[in-house]
C-alpha cells in the first residue's frame, strides 16, 4: 500500500508510534485521532492525489444528490424538462412521471454510492474502487452527457472533474500491491 491509508488489525491504545510496512508509514493515536506520518515524500503525494480525487468525486456526488432531490420534489417541472428534451409536449402521463421518479431515485442512490466509494475505499487506494468508478462512473457520465449536454453544458465540467479524479487516483490505486 503506497500511502493510501492505514490498515488497522488492532486498535491503537497508546501514543506509541506503530510502524506498518504495508502502508509504508507509521501511525500515532491520541484521543481517538489517528494521524499518518509517511517516511517518504511519495506516500504524501499519493495521499494528496487520492484525497483530491475523493473531493472531486464528492462534488460530482453532491450534484447528483441535488439533481435527484430536485427531480423527486419537482416531478412536474422535471417532467416538462424531459419532454422538451425529447421534442414532445409535457402531458401528465403516468409512465413519464414514473420514469422521472425512477431516474431521480436511481441518480440519488448511484451518486451517493459514488461518493461513499470515493471517500472510503478509493482513498485507501483499493483497485476495485478505482475500477468501479472508472466503469460505472464512465457509463453513467456517458449517458448523462448524451442526454443532458445539449441542454446543460456544465456536464462537460462534471466530465472533466471525473477524468481528473480517475487520472489522479490511477497510479496510487493500480500500483498498490495485493
pLDDT tens across 133-178, in order?
999 999 988 888 888 778 788 889 999 999 999 999 999 999 877 5
| Angstrom distances, CA of residue 52 to CA of 16, 26, 115 | 30, 22, 13
CB atoms within 10 A of CB 8: 13
CB 71, CB 101: distance < 8 Å: yes
Question: 8-46, pLDDT tens digit by residue?
Answer: 444 444 444 443 333 443 333 444 333 344 455 667 888
105 is a domain residue: yes
52 is a domain residue: yes
Question: 82-122, pLDDT tens digit by residue?
Answer: 777 777 766 656 677 777 788 888 888 999 999 999 999 99
What value does the mean pLDDT take over residues 54-80? Answer: 85
165 is a domain residue: yes
Asked whether the whole model's pTM tops 0.75, one would answer: no
DSSP 21: T
Read out DSSP for 105-158? Answer: HHHHHHHHHHHHHIIIIITTT-HHHHHHHHHHHHHHHHHHHHHHTTT-THHHHH
Helix, strand, coil distribution of the chain in percent, nearest 5: 65, 10, 25
**Tally of domains within the chain:** 1
Please compute, for residue 148, the number of CA atoms within 13 A of its CA located in the half-sphere on the CB side. 18
The pLDDT of residue 152: 81
Strands 18-20 and 25-30: antiparallel
7 is a domain residue: no
Domain that holds residue 128: 45-174
1 is a domain residue: no
CB 24, CB 39: distance < 8 Å: yes
Burial 137-175 (b: 16+ CB within 10 A, else e): beebbeebeeebeeebeebeebbebbeebbebbebbbee
36 is a domain residue: no
The span from the CA of 138 to the CA of 152, in Å, is 18
Amino acid at each position: 500500500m503506497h500511502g493510501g491509508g492505514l490498515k488497522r488489525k488492532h486498535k491503537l491504545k497508546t501514543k506509541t508510534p506503530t510502524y506498518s510496512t504495508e502502508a509504508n508509514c507509521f501511525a500515532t493515536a491520541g484521543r481517538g485521532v489517528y494521524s499518518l506520518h509517511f517516511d517518504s515524500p511519495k506516500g504524501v503525494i499519493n495521499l494528496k492525489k487520492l484525497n483530491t480525487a475523493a473531493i472531486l468525486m464528492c462534488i460530482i456526488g453532491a450534484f447528483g444528490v441535488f439533481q435527484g432531490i430536485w427531480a423527486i420534489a419537482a416531478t412536474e417541472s422535471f417532467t416538462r424538462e424531459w419532454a422538451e428534451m425529447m421534442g414532445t409536449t409535457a402531458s401528465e402521463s403516468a409512465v413519464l412521471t414514473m420514469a422521472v421518479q425512477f431516474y431521480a431515485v436511481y441518480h440519488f442512490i448511484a451518486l451517493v454510492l459514488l461518493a461513499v466509494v470515493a471517500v472510503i475505499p478509493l482513498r485507501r487506494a483499493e483497485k476495485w474502487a478505482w475500477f468501479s468508478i472508472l466503469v460505472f462512473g464512465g457509463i453513467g457520465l456517458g449517458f448523462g452527457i448524451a442526454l443532458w449536454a445539449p441542454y446543460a453544458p456544465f456536464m462537460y465540467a462534471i466530465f472533466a472533474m471525473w477524468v481528473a479524479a480517475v487520472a489522479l487516483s490511477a497510479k496510487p490505486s493500480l500500483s498498490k500491491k495485493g
